[in-house]
Amino acid sequence: MTDEANVPKERALVEVSPETKELIDREMPNETEQIKQETMALFEAVKRRAQTEIQGASQFTTDAYLNAVEQAKAAVEQERIMDPERIAYTFKLMEMDARQNWDNIVKEISDLGDRLSESAKQAWDSLFDSSK
């Protein structure tokens, strides 16, 4: 094995996770300890780099989202894009339309019921009138 004083700082004392050690031992059973150690160090370096990139991306995404929300809020407050009175009026119109549609549906169902009832009555009468 090499003397730790001769090992470059980047490779010195790399902490290897149990998962990485198990993977390397399983996939490289016939390799020397030095090759296994170097491979484990490489895996751990890649994992650390990926974690750093993910954290950076996550922070960037969070910052971008917060910035977009802040800009939207400022635009709404400055330009009054969404007038509360206009929104209330729109909801009132929607409510009136919904009521009118409901009344029309109820009327149509009632008319259909009346027609079905009249048809059934006529069928009944024609059945018994023709038998006389």
Report pLDDT digits (tens) over 49-89: 878 777 777 777 777 777 777 787 777 667 665 667 777 78
pTM exceeding the 0.85 threshold for the entire prediction: no
Q: Which residue has the higher pLDDT, 16 or 72?
A: 16
- String of b and e for 79-97 (b: at least 16 CB within 10 Å)? eeeeeeeeeeeeeeeeeee
Residue 1 clears pLDDT 60, i.e. is over it: no
Whether the CB-CB separation of 24 and 39 falls below 8 Å is answered with yes
Phi, psi of 8 (to 5 degrees): -60, 150
In percent, how much of the chain has pLDDT > 70? 83
Whether the CB-CB separation of 24 and 43 falls below 8 Å is answered with yes
